[in-house]
């Protein structure tokens, strides 16, 4: 595990605002089950998912990302041209090049922002947040960054593969990062990559090793593939330790965490690992039943949902944890800063609970 150093001499950086965008089209389990050869009941029992969103034919990842970014900027009251950085986490880019972030920069009119992509699959939003926070801490004066997680998995699925087709939806979530008062902001981050297990998740064809060809198309090499059992074991073996180490470095006990926002991979899998995390007083936030697994977007979408509902109060300790292809785990610990939604009433507190909308 590589720990991100915490000794940069700079002002704290915090999440100042959030935004999200979910496509209009709702896909229920019945439609997915018919193609995958399963039932609605089977999907709910195995995953906790009841519906997901699907991008319209004219919508690409950059379109979803720009919508989410625009909403976050509006909430923050920050103009696009005030951004120093735009970092887009995605594993379903518009095209191999240029970076999807460059297209998002253009769509937003953020002419002063350096823009680039991060691909850590479903850990991507935490990785992108970490990179952006470090860049902002090194900037002189007030500087702002826009972190976006966005994926359109419906374009790379084999809709007859029940291991993957039932899980994924399309969406985007965003956060504006900027300077904050002492005591607020990012308290620590931990990033872990196990490249020796990279074969568990991926799209085999379309890159430099297996360029697109008639053969790769015929063999379905451009579809997303996943070893579900292997992923479940990876999460159970690596997530508790990564979180424990992050909390130890921050000098905080698990009971100090108020909110846990995990990657929305599979509600059943998260439920299995949840008791092992030691977050006895935290609220576990799950939005997967309505949106499915939105890849890099899932943490950001969930964070925006609970933020806009007024569930996050100033000084709350919020833990974000992503896990996915690579294989990778990324966790970030935040002390929640005053934001545009700070006046909203806090609806949940106290003993351990699960929030499902």
Question: Using alpha carbons only, how large is the chain's radius of gyration in Å?
Answer: 19
Is 112 assigned a catalytic role?
A: no
Burial class, 88, CB count within 10 angstroms (exposed 0-12 / middle 13-18 / buried 19+): buried
Specify the 3-state DSSP secondary structure of 245: helix
Burial class, 23, CB count within 10 angstroms (exposed 0-12 / middle 13-18 / buried 19+): buried
Catalytic site residue from 263, 266, 285, 307: 263
**8-state DSSP, 5:** P
Distance between CA atoms of residues 29 and 50, nearest Å? 6
For the chain, where are the E strands, in sequence order? 2-3, 13-21, 25-28, 51-54, 83-89, 114-118, 144-152, 170-179, 185-193, 201-202, 225-226, 259-262, 283-286, 317-324, 328-335, 353-356
Is 122 assigned a catalytic role?
A: yes
Is 119 assigned a catalytic role?
A: no
Distance between CA atoms of residues 179 and 11, nearest Å? 7
Burial class, 35, CB count within 10 angstroms (exposed 0-12 / middle 13-18 / buried 19+): middle
Q: Read out DSSP for 323-346?
A: EETTTEEEEEEEEPPP-TTTTSPP
Catalytic site residue from 119, 122, 223, 266: 122
Catalytic residues: 122, 263, 293
């Amino acid at each position: 595990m590589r720990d991100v150093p915490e000794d940069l001499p700079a002002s704290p950086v915090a999440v100042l605002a959030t935004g999200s965008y979910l496509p209009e089209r709702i896909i229920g389990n019945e439609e997915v089950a018919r193609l995958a050869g399963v039932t609605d009941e089977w999907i709910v029992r195995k995953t906790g998912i009841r519906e997901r969103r699907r991008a319209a034919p004219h919508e690409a990842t950059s379109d979803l990302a720009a919508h989410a970014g625009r909403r976050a900027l509006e909430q923050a009251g920050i103009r696009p041209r005030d951004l120093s950085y735009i970092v887009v986490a995605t594993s379903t880019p518009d095209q191999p090049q240029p970076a999807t972030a460059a297209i998002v920069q253009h769509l937003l009119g953020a002419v002063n922002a350096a823009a680039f992509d991060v691909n850590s699959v479903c850990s991507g939003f935490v990785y992108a947040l970490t990179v952006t926070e470090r860049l902002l801490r090194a900037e002189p004066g007030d500087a702002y960054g826009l972190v976006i997680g966005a994926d359109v998995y419906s374009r790379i699925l084999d809709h007859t593969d029940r291991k993957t087709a039932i899980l994924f939806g399309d969406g985007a979530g965003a956060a504006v990062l900027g300077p904050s008062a002492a005591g607020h902001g990012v308290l620590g981050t931990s990033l872990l990559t196990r490249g020796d297990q990279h074969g568990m998740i991926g799209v085999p064809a379309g890159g430099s090793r297996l360029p697109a060809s008639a053969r790769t198309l015929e063999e379905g090499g451009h579809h997303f593939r996943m070893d579900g059992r292997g992923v479940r074991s990876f999460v159970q073996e690596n997530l508790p330790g990564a979180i424990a180490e992050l909390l130890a470095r921050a000098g905080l006990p698990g009971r100090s965490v108020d909110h846990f926002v995990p990657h929305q991979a599979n509600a059943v899998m998260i439920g299995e690992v949840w008791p092992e995390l030691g977050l006895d007083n935290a609220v576990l936030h799950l939005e997967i039943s309505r949106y499915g697994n939105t890849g890099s977007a899932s943490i950001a979408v969930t964070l925006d949902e609970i933020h806009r509902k007024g569930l996050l109060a100033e000084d709350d300790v919020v833990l974000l944890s992503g896990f996915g292809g690579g294989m990778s785990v990324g966790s970030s610990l935040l002390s929640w800063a005053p934001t545009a939604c700070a006046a909203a009433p806090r609806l949940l507190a106290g003993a351990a609970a699960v929030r499902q909308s």
